[in-house]
């Protein structure tokens, strides 16, 4: 049996979500745009899910645009807001923010990158300098980082963005269901979320948009989602996302407590192991995320040997693994590349218990003994 410690990559779909979705593959198969009863049933289901998301985030239902996931929502936010000013994104954003931003820079848009400190937190002084020096249309800073789990002070960023007349987008995909997320309280104008991170289905997400934001669609066609995301709605997935959002809201307070206690238990055990560094240890982080390195042991190699021994976790960012380049997040934090390539991410979830942590620690200790070169200090992993 393998224990799953990779909840930032994806979470299991909740049985209640599956149950709610199933009729929309069979009996309730209508197209929400159809005028007959089949269509009306599907439309009602989509509207209900839209309200469930709106309730979770304290927004109006008309602010919810369903997309094919977090990636599309981020692309839509970055590319959809046009203006003559600059685009400002943080150095630690998910590639689904960074790459469209770089694409726009290639097409002539001015792109500014906000730096983070050694703990992965936005450098406010430099952020304000950039906002003061340039006419910025849009700032994009994620609420919680998928690798480090570091939570940004978004209300403070919102104050700065507003002071300098810029819109603020935040990717909250990793934060929902783990910490409290409220659109107005954070002070954002747009927000990205993803179903698969909150025990919902994959391939569904949403961009929440303040109705005053002038946003242009990426996809043109049938005019669905108020003309902002054409294409027949993925009704079953939308229904699943709605239920997942409701459950995320209900479970968040208790989950935050339980996972925080579990993470502290994990980290106190990790500190007893040789050569372990916990990244961003002193920063405010998600309750479930610990990003560490065992100096001298390549993260990919360690993740593979842990997987062979019953522990499923990620080396660096799941989205970046496969390549040997050090994580851009750790690079932005100024972590030495030799240590950054040793990165291992453990992201806890509802199924994890203290005995899972005990098993993980024992397994990690054994793997460190097996893999650590005797002269590890001289070896760059």
Ligand X SMILES: Cc1ncc(COP(=O)(O)O)c(C=O)c1O
> At which residue do the structure tokens 């979500």 appear?
17
Q: Which stretch binds ligand X (CB under 6 A): 70-78, 213-221, 296-304, 370-378?
A: 70-78
Q: Is the dihedral of CA 67, 7, 353, 1 positive or negative?
A: positive
- Asked whether the beta carbons of 151 and 175 are under 8 A apart, the reply is yes
- Asked whether the beta carbons of 61 and 47 are under 8 A apart, the reply is yes
Q: Which stretch binds ligand X (CB under 6 A): 15-23, 66-74, 216-224, 372-380?
A: 66-74
86-124 burial, b at 16+ Cβ within 10 Å, e below that, comes to bbbbbbbbbebbbebbbebeeeebeebbbbbeeebbbee
For the chain, count helices (H), then strands (E): 12, 12
Residue 315 contacts ligand X per CB under 6 A = no
Residue 177 contacts ligand X per CB under 6 A = no
**Which of 30, 32, 70, 187 forms a contact with ligand X (CB under 6 A)?**
70
Name the DSSP letter for residue 118.
T
Helices 124-133 & 154-163 angle (0-180, nearest 10): 20
CA atoms within 13 A on the CB side of 106: 7
- Asked whether the beta carbons of 159 and 135 are under 8 A apart, the reply is no
Q: x/- contact string, 201-230, with ligand X (CB under 6 A)?
A: ----x-------------------------
Give CA–CA dist 298/326, Å, rounded.
11
Minimum CB distance to ligand X smaller for 198 or for 295? 198
**Which of 171, 189, 225, 246 forms a contact with ligand X (CB under 6 A)?**
171
Residue 174 contacts ligand X per CB under 6 A = yes
Residue 94 contacts ligand X per CB under 6 A = yes
**Which of 32, 69, 201, 217 forms a contact with ligand X (CB under 6 A)?**
69
Q: x/- contact string, 319-358, with ligand X (CB under 6 A)?
A: x---------------------------------------
Residue 194 contacts ligand X per CB under 6 A = yes
Q: Which stretch binds ligand X (CB under 6 A): 18-26, 27-35, 68-76, 251-259?
A: 68-76
Minimum CB distance to ligand X smaller for 11 or for 367? 11
Minimum CB distance to ligand X smaller for 70 or for 80? 70
Q: 25-64: which residues touch ligand X (CB under 6 A)?
A: none
Minimum CB distance to ligand X smaller for 248 or for 295? 248
By CB under 6 A, the count of residues binding ligand X is 15
CB of residue 205 to ligand X, shortest distance in Å:
5
319 is an active site residue? yes
CA atoms within 13 A on the CB side of 287: 19
CA dihedral 43, 44, 47, 48 (to 10 degrees): -150
Element (H, E) at 143: none
CB of residue 30 to ligand X, shortest distance in Å:
25
Residue 199 contacts ligand X per CB under 6 A = no
Q: 137-156: which residues touch ligand X (CB under 6 A)?
A: 142, 146
Nearest-CA neighbor of 61 among 235, 211, 231?
211
Catalytic residues, by residue number, are 319
Q: Which residues would be at the binding site for ligand X (CB under 6 A)?
A: 69-71, 74, 94, 96, 142, 146, 171, 173-174, 194, 196, 205, 319
């Amino acid at each position: 049996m393998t224990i799953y410690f990779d909840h930032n990559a994806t979470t299991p779909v909740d049985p209640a979500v599956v149950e709610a979705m199933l009729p929309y593959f069979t009996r309730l198969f209508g197209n929400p745009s159809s005028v007959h009863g089949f269509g009306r049933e599907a439309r009602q289901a989509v509207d209900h899910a839209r309200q469930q998301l709106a309730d979770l985030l304290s927004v109006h239902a008309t602010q919810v645009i369903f997309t094919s996931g977090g990636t599309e929502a981020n692309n839509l936010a970055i590319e959809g807001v046009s203006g003559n000013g600059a685009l400002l994104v943080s150095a630690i954003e998910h590639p689904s923010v960074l790459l469209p931003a770089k694409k726009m820079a290639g097409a002539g848009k001015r792109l500014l990158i906000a730096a983070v400190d050694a703990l992965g937190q936005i450098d406010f002084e430099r952020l304000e300098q950039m906002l003061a020096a340039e006419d910025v249309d849009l700032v994009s800073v994620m609420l919680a980082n998928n690798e480090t789990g570091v939570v940004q002070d978004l209300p403070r960023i919102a104050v700065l963005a507003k002071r300098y007349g810029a819109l603020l987008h935040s990717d909250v995909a990793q934060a929902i269901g783990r910490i409290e997320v409220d659109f107005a309280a954070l002070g954002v104008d747009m927000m990205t979320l993803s179903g698969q991170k909150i025990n919902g289905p994959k391939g569904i997400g949403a961009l929440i948009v303040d109705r005053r934001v002038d946003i242009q669609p990426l996809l043109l066609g049938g005019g669905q989602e108020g003309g902002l995301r054409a294409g027949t709605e993925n009704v079953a997935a939308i229904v699943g996302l709605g239920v997942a959002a409701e459950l995320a809201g209900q479970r968040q307070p208790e989950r935050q407590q339980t996972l925080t206690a579990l993470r502290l238990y994990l980290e106190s055990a990790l500190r007893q192991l040789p050569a372990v560094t916990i990244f961003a240890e002193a920063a405010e982080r998600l309750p479930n995320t610990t990003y560490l390195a065992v100096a001298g042991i390549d993260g990919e190699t360690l993740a593979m040997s842990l997987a062979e021994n019953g522990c499923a976790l990620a080396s660096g960012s799941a989205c970046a693994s496969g390549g040997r380049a050090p994580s851009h997040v750790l690079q932005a934090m100024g972590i030495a590349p030799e240590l950054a390539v040793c990165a291992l991410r453990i992201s806890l979830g509802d199924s994890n218990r203290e005995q899972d942590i005990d098993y993980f620690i024992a397994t990690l200790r054994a793997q460190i003994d097996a893999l650590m070169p005797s002269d590890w200090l001289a070896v760059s992993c």
